[in-house]
Amino acid sequence: MMQVTPVPAFTDNYIWLIGNTDNSGVAIVDPGDAAPVLDALQRMAKQPVAILITHHHRAHVGGIDKLLQAYPGLPVYGPANEAIPHLNQPLMEGAEVHLESLGLRFQVMELPGHTAGHIVYYGEGSLFCGDTLFANGCGRVFDGTLHDLYASLQRIAQLPADTQVYCTHEYTVDNIGFAKWVEPDNPALDARLEESWALLDEGHPTVPFELGREFETNPFLRTHIPEVIAKAEEIAGRETHTPADVFAVLRIWKDTEYD
């Protein structure tokens, strides 16, 4: 059975250790900092078998060098279309990552937007999505495009509703704040906020989260909802013509007024 452990890093990052209950091996997802990973491996008596990278940002790749110094020869999986340090297993759409020693398989999806070559890993009822989708939010656009990010989120939305989503930042409460700007009368947001604070107060992360819940609270997946459309048109001062247009208005608004 798959077992996933969060390793907190920096101020709000999560580095994920993917293992199972049958052996001590783990795959490391997006190690931006080696120190907390090395501490966790030693404390948990785990042995890394692979590094999985979603995109090139330093907060996701910065620990690769030191991890390879400590564990030479680890395979480093990542997007073929981005410059990833020590990448030796380049991946493109439709590739499969078979972590044989863990008995786990993941399908690779190319989901650009946050970055131009961003990939995600989907399998075992779980999605390791880097900075594409967050609880109640989504990533900024850097070297991708708004159109690409919208299309990528729509692909994620087609996955089973019970998919467990492992994003890489603790942004949930902040994202709910923006979502309430968009839909101040959405009662699901109040319930989600209360639940999130309860988890954080007890020292637990708010992620992973179930994909299906996002359709109730994430404005970037609710761009077809009349209230969300109305708010986007109010902010833009014009009519919007497609859900993708609504998405672009909301993402730019968040970038310029909220963050």
Question: Whole-angstrom Cα distance, residue 65 to residue 34?
Answer: 8
Q: Is 86 annotated as a binding residue?
A: no
The reply, when asked if residue 57 is annotated as ligand binding, is yes
Tell me the two tokens of residue 65: 């060098």
Which residue type sits at 153? L
Q: Is 55 annotated as a binding residue?
A: yes
147 annotated binding-site participant: no
Decide the pairing of beta strands 89-91 and 76-79: parallel
Residues 6+ apart with CB under 8 A from 239: 233
Check if the beta carbon of residue 156 is closer than 8 Å to that of residue 132.
Answer: yes
- Listed residue (221, 140, 202, 133) closest to 172, CA to CA: 133
Known binding positions: 55, 57, 114, 131
- Sequence ranges of the binding site for Zn(2+): 55, 57, 114, 131
